[in-house]
Structure 1
Amino acid sequence: MNNNFNPKTPDLEGVRYFSYGASLDPTFFSIFRPSHNIIKRLEGALNDGLVSVPSSKWGDYKGTLIGVSHLDLINWTNRVKWLFWSLTGKKRKFNGVAFYLDIADMLAKEGL
C-alpha cells in the first residue's frame, strides 16, 4: 500500500478524510486467528484480523474500536453466533448498522 496504492491515490484538495481502526483478540476457532497473528508478528500492532490499526489511520482518525473484527466492520455478522449468544444471555458488543448511522449523523452535523 505504501509503495504502490498510496502514491497513486493522493488526497483531493477540499475533501475531508475520516478513519477508524479496529482490534480484536481472536478466539481459538476464529477465522481471523491466523491472519491476526501474521499481522501482529509482522507489524507488532493491534489489528481486526485483516487491517492493522496503524494502517487504518488516514485523515482525521476517530478512534479504535476494541473487540471488533473486520467482518463486524462490514456488517457481515455470524447470525449463528448471535443466536447462540442471545440464548446464553451474552450481549452483542458491536452493531455495524448503528455504527454507520452514527457516522452519517456526524457527517450531517459537520455539514458534509
Structure 2
Amino acid sequence: MNAIMKPIVPSDRQVANIKTADYKTFVIDGEEVPGHSYLQFDDTFPEGAGFTIYRMAPGTQSIPHEHTCHEQFFVIEGELIDNDGYVYKAGDFVCLKEGTQHNSYTKTGVTLALFIRSLERNL
C-alpha cells in the first residue's frame, strides 16, 4: 500500500534511551524509595503504572505488596530474586497474576520493562 500519511509532528513523538534518560525516583505514600527509579511517558496512567522502565540499584528490595491486576515484566539486565527464592534473569518474560503477594530484591541491580494497569496495594 502506498497510503499518503500525515507526518508525525514532534509533539506526538517521545523518544528516550533507557541508558541515558532522566529517571524519576519511585515514591510510595509520599516517601522516596531509595535505589528505585522509573521512566514513564504515558500520563494517562498514574505514576508507576502503565508501561515503564523500572530500575532497582544493587542491594535494594521492593516493599511487600499485592498485585491488583496482572503484572508483566521483561528483565532487560541484571537479576531479581523473589521472596520465595525464584531468580529472574536477563531475558526472562514474567507474568505475576492478580492477587500475587510478594516482594523482590536484587544483589546486582536490575532493569525491567514493566506493564501494570493499576498500582499495587502495599501489605
TM-score by structure 2 length? 0.23
Relative CO higher for 1 or 2, CA cutoff 8 Å, sep ≥ 6? 2
Write 1 or 2 for the structure with the bigger share of helix: 1
State TM-score, norm by structure 1.
Answer: 0.25
